[in-house]
Amino acid sequence: MSISSRKIYLFILACCVGLLAYALYAQYVDGLHPCPLCITQRAFFALTGLFALLGLIFHPQQTGRYITGGLMLASCGGGAAVAYRQVWLQSLPPDQVPACGPSLEYMFDNLPFSEAFSTLMMGDGNCAEVVWTLFGLSMPNWALIAFVGLGLAAIASALPQVRR
């Protein structure tokens, strides 16, 4: 039994929707306020899900599957880099954690986009705080695992052995 690329796209889309739904639940029900790096990871999950949705809708031939898989892989790579940065910040000793910065709204309202973006990507003291764990791993750890898994699924969706 071979798996189809459509099933892989559906799996990736369902995972992204589920992860984003849980992030919103954690924010609005559990009261966990996301830091700038958390919001950026959400954007990468949404982007990965959007590419999977496009693959599901347009059901591309092999070249299109390479493009769709590459876009999903790039999005997962970007998200994994941001999640890794946050995991690294969380592993720092307390005296090495960067100071807390301005809010996301303030940065984009008052700083040039390039400066706000670079500040966002660096993270700050808020991003180093561990406020949620499951089996000893923080939310950014789980996001990193999810990005790696979704990236592997994106690669699988483009393999020639996978039927259209």
- Cβ within 8 Å of residue 64, ≥6 positions away: 55, 58
Calculate mean pLDDT across residues 98-126.
Answer: 66
Asked whether residue 1 carries a pLDDT value surpassing 60, the answer given is no
Report the domain count for the chain.
1
- Convert the pLDDT of each residue in 80-90 to its tens digit: 999 998 898 88
Split at pLDDT 50, 70, 90, the class of 92 is confident
Q: Which domain holds residue 148?
A: 5-92+101-158
Asked whether residue 12 carries a pLDDT value surpassing 90, the answer given is yes
> Is position 46 within any domain?
yes
CATH assignment of the domain containing 121: 1.20.1550.10
- Convert the pLDDT of each residue in 117-158 to its tens digit: 676 666 555 677 778 778 988 999 999 999 999 999 999 998
pLDDT reported for residue 93: 80
Asked whether residue 19 carries a pLDDT value surpassing 70, the answer given is yes
pLDDT reported for residue 32: 87
- Convert the pLDDT of each residue in 48-76 to its tens digit: 999 999 999 888 788 888 999 999 999 99
Asked whether residue 101 carries a pLDDT value surpassing 80, the answer given is no
Q: What is the 3-state secondary structure (H, E, C) of the chain?
A: CCCEHHHHHHHHHHHHHHHHHHHHHHHHCCCCCCCHHHHHHHHHHHHHHHHHHHHHHHCCCHHHHHHHHHHHHHHHHHHHHHHHHHHHHHHCCHHHCCCCCCCHHHHHHHCCHHHHHHHHHHCCHHHHCCCCEECCEEHHHHHHHHHHHHHHHHHHHHCCCCEC
> Is position 164 within any domain?
no
> Is position 145 within any domain?
yes
- Convert the pLDDT of each residue in 23-50 to its tens digit: 999 999 998 888 888 889 999 999 999 9
Average pLDDT, the chain: 85
Calculate mean pLDDT across residues 93-106.
Answer: 66
